């Protein structure tokens, strides 16, 4: 079963839109293993380097990357979650695109290992723009505080940032409260996410914001309804290809 439906993966995974079609023509897979806790072994780092070299052998937009969780992955296991987050960050730091799938455990992976797979593609015409749509940051009712779970997700998102990218933030509320109060609240939520991104290394000049208040609801409701899906900041990153 795919892990895409789990809240942890949705909150830490960048979903990339590629404006071209491609078919898989081959794949290589490497185990990426850990010592005690969430510390990668030297062989784990070597596997990431080898995967990166394989990724770079083809022309741009000719490969995709997939991470497979460790066998028996359990979201309730803090160590397993931390390992998946650590390897996701290390993959990004190694220079991979943030367009990384996280899927079910790879059947042949060793215990305490995740796997990274590089698939070779037959690519069509490359796009003129890359846009990554991230799972939103959600807020408690009336709050503009970024909670620890959201901060963990923003840490992953910020790792995909490069100076010159546009970080586009859209702030929203539910319909509880007046339109004026909600518009101001959506601005405070944007400010909170912006501040978090800046602390994580995003340049303030690269952040673009729009506050919508209680308009553009993710889940339409009647007036005066407090609903969690509508209390959010949407996050996109846009970058011209090299």
> What is the rounded average pLDDT of the residues 217-242?
85
126 compared with 5, residue with greater pLDDT = 126
**Distance (Å, rounded) from C-alpha 241 to C-alpha 197?**
22
What pLDDT is recorded for position 233? 96
Top-ranked range on mean pLDDT: pick from 7-11, 69-73, 96-100, 136-140: 136-140
**Distance (Å, rounded) from C-alpha 159 to C-alpha 201?**
9
Q: CA-based angle 7:146:228, to the nearest 5?
A: 55
pLDDT digits (tens, 9 = 90+) for 145-196: 999 999 988 998 898 888 888 899 999 999 999 999 999 999 999 999 999 9
What pLDDT is recorded for position 108? 53
């Amino acid at each position: 079963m795919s892990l895409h439906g789990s809240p942890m993966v949705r909150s830490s995974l960048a979903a990339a839109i590629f404006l071209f079609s491609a078919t898989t023509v081959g794949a290589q897979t490497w185990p990426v293993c850990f010592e005690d806790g969430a510390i990668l072994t030297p062989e784990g780092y070597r596997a990431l380097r080898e995967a990166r070299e394989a990724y770079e052998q083809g022309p741009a937009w000719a490969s995709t990357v997939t991470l497979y969780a460790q066998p028996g992955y359990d979201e309730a296991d803090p160590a397993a979650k931390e390992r998946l987050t650590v390897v996701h960050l290390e993959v990004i730091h190694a220079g991979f695109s943030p367009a990384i799938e996280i899927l079910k455990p790879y059947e042949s992976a060793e215990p305490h290992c995740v796997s990274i797979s590089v698939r070779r593609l037959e690519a069509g015409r490359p796009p003129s723009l890359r846009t990554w749509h991230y799972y939103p940051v959600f807020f408690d009712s009336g709050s503009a505080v970024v909670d620890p779970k959201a901060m963990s997700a923003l840490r992953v998102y910020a790792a995909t940032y490069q100076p010159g990218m546009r970080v586009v933030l859209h702030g929203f509320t539910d319909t509880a409260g007046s339109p004026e109060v909600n518009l101001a609240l959506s601005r405070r939520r944007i400010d909170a996410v912006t501040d978090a991104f800046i602390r994580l290394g995003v340049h303030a000049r690269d952040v673009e914001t729009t506050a919508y208040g209680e308009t553009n609801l993710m889940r339409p409701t009647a007036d005066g309804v407090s609903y969690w899906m509508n209390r959010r900041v949407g996050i996109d990153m846009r970058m011209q290809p090299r």
